Every structure is written in C-alpha cells, then in structure tokens.
Amino acid sequence: MPEYKWNPQSLLELSNGYWQTSVLHAAIKIDLFSVLDEQALRAEELADKIGADKDGLQRLLTALVAIELLVKKDDCFSCTRSAAVFLSRQSPLYLGNIIQHHRQLMESWAHLDEAVMTGQPVRAAYAGDDPEWRRNFLLGMHDLAMLLAPKLISQIDLGGRRRLLDLGGGPGTWAIHFCKKYPELQATVYDLPSSRSFAEETVACFGLEERVGFVGGDFLLEKVSGSYDVVWLSHILHGEGPQEVRIILDNVASVLEPGGLLLIHEFVLDDAGSGPLFPALFSLNMLLGTPAGRSYSGEQLFELLRDAGFKDTQNLDLDLPGSSSVIAAKV
C-alpha cells in the first residue's frame, strides 16, 4: 500500500479528537482541577464533595488520567503539575475562562456544514447579550493576554510615545502591560459599555487607575474622539468584514497624530491562501459566529491600510508563540 499523509487510523483520530476536548471542557465546567489541586481524593469522596454521580465521575477521572491531566495513586486522584499551573483557579496562570469560552463555541461547530452552504452564521453574536458568555470571553481574553503580553511587548519599542488607545481592549490587559513597561504612557481602553466593569476591576488589580481609563462606545457606529500617538488593535479586525474594517481604520486614522503608530495584532493568513492552520480554522470560527468576519492575509491588511491613508506598513519580525502576527503602520 502506498504511503499517504493521512491513513485510516490518523483520520479516525482526527474525527474523534473532540472526545478529548469534551473531557477537558467537562472537567473545567465542574472545576475538578481546582478541587484536586487542594487535596488528593478518591472518586467517591470527590463525588460527594461536588454532588456528582460516582460512576459518571469515575469514568471522567479515568479519562483525565489517561490524558495525563490527573494522576492516580492508591485510588486517590490529584492534579498533574501542568493541570495545577494552568487549570486550577488558584493559579495566576489559569486558562479556564478561555476554555469555557471554547466550550460555548462547540455547538456551532457541529453546524459548520450549514454555515458553509449558506454563508451565514449559525450562532448569535456574543457581544453582551449573554452575561456568562460575555464574562467567559472577556476573562478568557485577559488570561491569554496575561500569558502573551510580557513576551510581545518586550519586543515593541514605544519609547517617547505618551498616549495609547487600546481600541476594543475589553478588560484592558494589553493597555495595562504597555503602561507597566512604559511609565510615561497614559492609556485609554475603548470598548462596549458592558466591558467597563471588567476593565475597571482589572486595572484596579494593577493599581493603574490614574493611568488607564475606560471609554464606552461602539467604534462601528460612533466616531472615536481624542488624540493619540499609538493605537493598539488586538484581535479586532477578524470579527468584521472588509467594509467594517475600513470604518475602523478610518476611525483610527482620525485620532492618530501625525507620525502616530498603529499596531495590529491578528491571526494572519499567508498571501498564497494555504495556511497557517490556526488562522484558517479561526476564519471558519468567524463564519460560524459573525456576518462577515474572517482571517485576513497580510496582503489584504496592507491594502486596507493603504486605502485608509496609512504608510510605512510592515509585518514586524517578532518571536511570538502560536500563529499571531503584529503589523505596524503610520499616518
């Protein structure tokens, strides 16, 4: 038999890979890792503690041991080191909020064929209608930014700049980290009014209330006011179609001072349209949930920036984990 990139076994593993994903999602939803980070427990003890069916819980625990997120010793279950660091609420590196957001997306992915055939989203927009959805999304964005911001910001020079606009900044995590690195910087987080409490709470945790403010509004419906010498746009453009992206970029150009810097942080497709994998998958995620959102290629973003009057456009050569990129441009 000739060798193939994919074989029956690997295709079946790809097909049922969501089973492992569902195990992780269920464990996060019932907060198993936080409980087992505090003490090792037998299945029946844990079932009594969280009010679960013993047999159902035993099966879940066995799967988590097989996945190597839990360990079992003398019939007691406890977290692996990785689970304790990233999946327990007691940890400052907790990723449970973004994982719960991923869980909320799963139902729509089961209807991907419908979205492909109709070109229409199959889930409701998540911008504020469901409080739990919004909370998981905002806190999940905070979790991810807490991991990535120190590494990314250390590679970006904002020396001499004084006023930063974090457009669509949600909980304000990026603005906070920019201000931590640059003591002379003042920042404004602009997002929907429903994000205000999350942003103010996050800013207060870092003691930056005097330097990071919040303005509520919708940058697709309202003109952003103020004057800034740097604007940060992190994972905003993929939620919109080209027409809306033009509105956003025009809005940014109107508040940037001459010589002002725009930084776009996005999942960027290659110009050949052949990947990378995560931006390609993320573009489908936008098809499922937005009327026109998508992942853009670098060439597409450069053209949109030129149309909005930006110049000196470049893809920054940064050492970043994952598949994100940062594009810089000036007015």
Residue positions annotated with a catalytic role: 238
CB 328 within 8 A of CB 316: yes
Number of C-beta neighbours around residue 153 at 10 A: 16
- Three-class HEC string of the chain: CCCCCCCHHHHHHHHCCHHHHHHHHHHHHCCHHHHHHHCCEEHHHHHHHHCCCHHHHHHHHHHHHHHCCEEEECCEEEECHHHHHHCCCCCCCCCHHHHHHHHHHHHHHCCHHHHHHHCCCCCCCCCCCCHHHHHHHHHHHHHHHHHHHHHHHCCCCCCCCCEEEEECCCCCHHHHHHHHHCCCCEEEEEECHHHHHHHHHHHHHCCCCCCEEEEECCCCCCCCCCCEEEEEEECCHHHCCHHHHHHHHHHHHHHEEEEEEEEEEEEEECCCCCCCHHHHHHHHHHHHHCCCCCCEEHHHHHHHHHHCCCEEEEECCCCCCCCEEEEEEEC
The distance of Cα 54 from the centroid of its chain, to the nearest Å, equals 35
Rg (CA), the chain: 22
Say if CB 16 and CB 88 are below 8 A apart: no
Instruction: Give yes or no for a contact between 54 and 76, defined as CB atoms under 8 angstroms apart.
Output: no
